[in-house]
Amino acid sequence: MNRPITTLFMLMSVDGKISTGASDHLDVDKDFPKIAGVQEGLHQYYEIEKTTDLWSLNSGRVQAKIGVNTENMPNKTPVSFVVIDNKHLTEHGIRYFCALSKQFVLVTSNKNHPAFELEEDNLHILYQSERSLKNVLTKLKSDYGCERITIQTGGTLNGVFLREKLIDYIDIVVAPVLIGGKDTSTLIDGQSLRSENELSQLGVLKLQECVVLQDSYLRLRYKVIC
């Protein structure tokens, strides 16, 4: 395989929502710790997250929502981060990821992204005039030696990974809550299928593990078989 092995790792509600609402002011990382019946078992998700791959792929929008543009500078970790972003990360947010990451790869199609003005030893910019997730993954393996990567993007980008057959495994932690709302982001968003001819774009899964966690949480692990 000329790209890394990919795992989509997410926290979601029982009805598949990965946010608490349709506003950028609402987010599971900020809101779940406040909700009785959900807050008690939330630590398990973060404990599992620490065991994921040493390469992590994120979106700038999601990272801006959780506050990287204003957070204090973090301690260095052994994890290398890839962020796909055109307009959501500020100069502070980029420096945040450089401080956090072993290697930080920014993927953008914005020639005026503030990252181009910065000089950081571990900052790498992958410019694409037209976005190609397949090319991003290929370059991560060929240029940076990335063999495995965890995907933690929003529903729209998750949908692109699915349609382009770029997800190998699914690792989901299910929180005991129903959120609802047709405009609230789900695990897989993006354009809906419109005809039987498009059914080949579905992701068919084989369950590898189902773990009943504490406080009514579940962990579901699947292999994508086609």
Distances in Å between the alpha carbon of 122 and those of 71, 80, 102, 105?
Answer: 20, 9, 7, 8
pLDDT of residue 24: 86
In this structure, which long-range contacts are made by residues 183-186, counting pairs with CB atoms below 8 Å and at least 24 apart in sequence?
A: 183/22, 184/17, 184/19, 184/20, 184/21, 184/22, 185/17, 185/18, 185/19, 185/22, 185/154, 185/155, 185/156, 186/12, 186/16, 186/17, 186/18, 186/155
CA neighbor of 35 nearest in space, from 177, 153, 169, 143: 177
pTM of the model: 0.96
Ranges of the chain with pLDDT below 70? none
Distance of CA 143 to the CA centre of its chain: 21
Contact (CB, 8 A) for 7 and 171: yes
In the sheet that 169-175 helps form, which strands lie side by side, from edge to edge?
123-127, 104-108, 80-84, 55-59, 148-151, 5-13, 169-175, 218-224, 205-212
pLDDT of residue 199: 94
Residues 6+ apart with CB under 8 A from 57: 81, 82, 83, 84, 149, 150, 151, 152, 153
Tokens of 216: 């009514």
Domain 5-224 classified CATH 3.40.430.10? yes
Query: Domain residues of the chain, as ranges?
Result: 5-224
